[in-house]
């Protein structure tokens, strides 16, 4: 069955009001922007979505992390912005804490912060 939206995982129910339809369209724009590697537009779409109560950012944290990892911002080349995002998601998330912890550890290892990675593991496990 075809739907009117390209990426229907935001909310599988049909949009019953203009606001929901607009949010689904913004979600589609975000996905298309990621596929086209237009991360500036994807970032703007993400910033709209995470401010809406209908959008569960905890469920879509991997999308947010993927966009942060692709930002070309020299100021955050040490991975601190990604780490801050992951730690915020760890506090908000109720179910996938192990998956987020794995991403935190991998990011710390990638940025050669091995002692901090070990400390995170000891703290959480």
Alpha carbons 79 and 56: distance in angstroms, whole number: 24
Question: Mean of the per-residue pLDDT values for the chain?
Answer: 80
52 DSSP assignment: S
Write the pLDDT tens digit of every residue in 74-112: 555 567 888 888 888 888 777 778 888 888 888 888 888
Q: What share of the chain is helix, strand, coil (3-state, %, to 5)?
A: 65, 0, 35
**Stated pTM of the model:** 0.61
Would the pLDDT of 24 be above 50? Answer: yes
First to last CA, the chain: 44
Predicted confidence band of residue 1 (pLDDT cuts 50, 70, 90): very low
């Amino acid at each position: 069955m075809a739907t009117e939206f390209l990426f229907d995982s935001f909310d599988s129910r049909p949009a019953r009001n203009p606001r929901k339809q607009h949010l689904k369209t913004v979600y589609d724009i975000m996905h298309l922007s990621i596929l086209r590697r237009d991360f500036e537009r994807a970032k703007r779409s993400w910033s709209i979505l995470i401010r809406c109560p209908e959008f569960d950012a905890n469920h879509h944290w991997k999308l947010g992390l993927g966009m942060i990892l692709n930002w070309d911002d020299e100021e955050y080349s040490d991975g601190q912005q990604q780490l801050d995002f992951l730690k915020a998601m760890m506090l908000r998330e109720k179910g996938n804490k192990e998956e987020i912890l794995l991403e935190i550890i991998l990011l710390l290892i990638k940025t050669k912060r091995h002692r901090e990675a070990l400390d995170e593991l000891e703290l959480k496990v």
